[in-house]
Amino acid sequence: MLRYQVDDMSCGHCVQAITAAVKGVDPAAQITIDLPSKSLEVATTAADSAVRDAIREAGYTPQEARKAAPTAKASCCGGRR
């Protein structure tokens, strides 16, 4: 799974353009785009460099996805008595 941050993706047209660019590299790619967070996940057999290049050629700037903050684990007490 490839994950990217595309900060210059801002609307539905951007989503369509990026989807078309990735599908041009791998028509079978599974693409998940979250527009509010400007993030993109691609399940593909294509090389990372080929996908990045296709997104760049479409006019966007893919970057390595930002790491999510670690989630807090429950305390050892867990509210037990």
The CATH number given to whatever domain includes residue 29 is: 3.30.70.100
Domain-embedded: residue 81: no
Domain-embedded: residue 53: yes
The per-residue pLDDT for 31 is 97
Domains: count for the chain: 1
The per-residue pLDDT for 66 is 76
**Sequential pLDDT tens for the chain (81 residues):** 999 999 999 999 999 999 999 999 999 999 999 999 999 999 999 999 999 999 999 999 999 987 654 555 555 665 555
> Torsion over CA of 63, 3, 28 and 10, rounded to 10 degrees?
-60
Indicate the pTM of the whole model. 0.80
User: What b/e sequence results for 31-58 when a residue is b if at least 16 CB atoms lie within 10 Å of its CB, and e otherwise?
Assistant: bebeeeebbbebebebeeeebbebbeeb
The per-residue pLDDT for 76 is 61
